[in-house]
């Protein structure tokens, strides 16, 4: 285990792969092909892992007023957690293809609902395969868990809050995890409007990972935040396109030992549902 149990290495995971207290969840997903993750899971996954689909499991219903991945209904996601075998004492391990962009969302959701024993497989599936550990097509035998949500354990920011802060010229620190081109508005491959929220600053989540998808050393993670004058902020928030990769910044904050940020779940895709909002590109 590394950095307060936030990360787990493949060798540490393989040592506890058959421990009943561990629940392993595969979150592989492609925005381009939403079926790809499930298909990849069916072709081979880490032993005892269950599959979680970003759109169907880790997000709520989309409306004209929401972003692309609104937070799921608490009762529904709690029932899913129990169905996946998560109990109060479970240690949950989450992984995806490589850089943990999707795994971070499930890591955050569990912590949002009060479950702190959750770790991300550092480097994801690529790291597991690079260690020559095996995959399986067998589905795990699951005993239903007794997970119960505790609400309000992590802070969220709403679109309305940020709107008011801008209108009232209230100072706030909001960090956008999208890549530099999307933040600047020079490229927007996903959302219908390009740009970023006024006063937000940009730290792409990929700045925190090595070429193999593993997290950079804690000292480097700290330095990246420090270069943006983010050390031990009492009140700051993170966003991205739809509230998914923003969670990656939350993990990096915990690794760095600085205050964990609030999440703006709606993020850019919700912000742009109303053209009257202040836009900056």
Extents of the domains making up the chain: 7-130, 159-271
Note the pLDDT of residue 142.
Answer: 95
DSSP three-state, residue 5? coil
* pLDDT tens digits along 53-95: 999 999 999 999 999 999 999 999 999 999 999 999 999 999 9
Residue 162 φ/ψ, nearest 5 degrees: -65, -40
Q: Which residues pair with 263 in a beta bridge?
A: 156, 238
Q: What is the pLDDT of residue 99?
A: 94
Is-same-fold flag (7-130; 159-271)? yes
Instruction: Name the phi and psi angles at 184, rounded to 5.
Output: -75, -20
Predicted pLDDT at 1: 37
pLDDT for position 152:
64
pTM for the model: 0.95
Indicate the helix (H) or strand (E) that contains 225. Answer: helix 218-226
In the predicted model, residues of the chain with pLDDT beneath 70 are 1-4, 152, 278-281
3-state secondary structure of 219: helix
Positions marked active-site: 240
CATH superfamily, domain 159-271, is Rhodanese-like domain (3.40.250.10)
β strands within the chain, DSSP E: 7-8, 22-26, 49-51, 91-95, 118-121, 174-176, 201-202, 237-239, 262-263
Give the CATH number of domain 7-130.
3.40.250.10
């Amino acid at each position: 285990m590394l950095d307060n149990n936030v990360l787990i290495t493949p060798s540490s995971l393989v040592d506890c792969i058959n421990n009943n207290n561990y629940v392993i969840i595969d979150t592989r997903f492609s925005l381009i092909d939403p079926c790809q993750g499930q298909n990849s899971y069916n072709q081979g996954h880490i032993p005892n892992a269950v599959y979680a689909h970003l759109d169907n499991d880790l997000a709520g219903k989309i409306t004209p007023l929401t972003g692309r991945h609104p937070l799921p209904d608490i009762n529904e996601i709690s029932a899913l957690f129990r169905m996946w075998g998560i109990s109060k004492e479970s240690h949950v391990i989450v992984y995806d293809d490589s850089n943990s962009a999707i795994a971070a969302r499930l890591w955050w959701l569990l912590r949002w609902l009060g479950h702190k024993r959750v770790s991300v497989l550092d480097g994801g599936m690529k790291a597991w395969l690079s260690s020559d550990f095996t995959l399986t097509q067998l589905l795990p035998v699951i005993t239903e868990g007794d997970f119960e949500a505790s609400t309000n354990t992590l802070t969220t920011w709403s679109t309305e809050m940020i709107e008011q802060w801008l209108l009232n010229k209230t100072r706030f620190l909001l960090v956008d995890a999208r890549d530099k081109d999307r933040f600047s508005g020079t490229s927007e491959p996903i959302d219908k409007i390009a740009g970023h929220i006024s006063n937000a600053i940009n730290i792409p989540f990929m700045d925190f990972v090595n070429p193999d998808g593993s997290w950079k050393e804690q000292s480097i993670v700290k330095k990246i935040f420090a270069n943006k004058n983010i050390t031990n902020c009492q009140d700051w928030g993170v966003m991205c396109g739809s509230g998914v990769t923003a969670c990656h910044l939350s993990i990096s904050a915990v690794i760095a030992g600085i205050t964990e940020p609030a999440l703006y779940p709606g993020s850019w895709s919700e912000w742009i549902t109303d053209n009257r909002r202040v836009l900056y590109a």
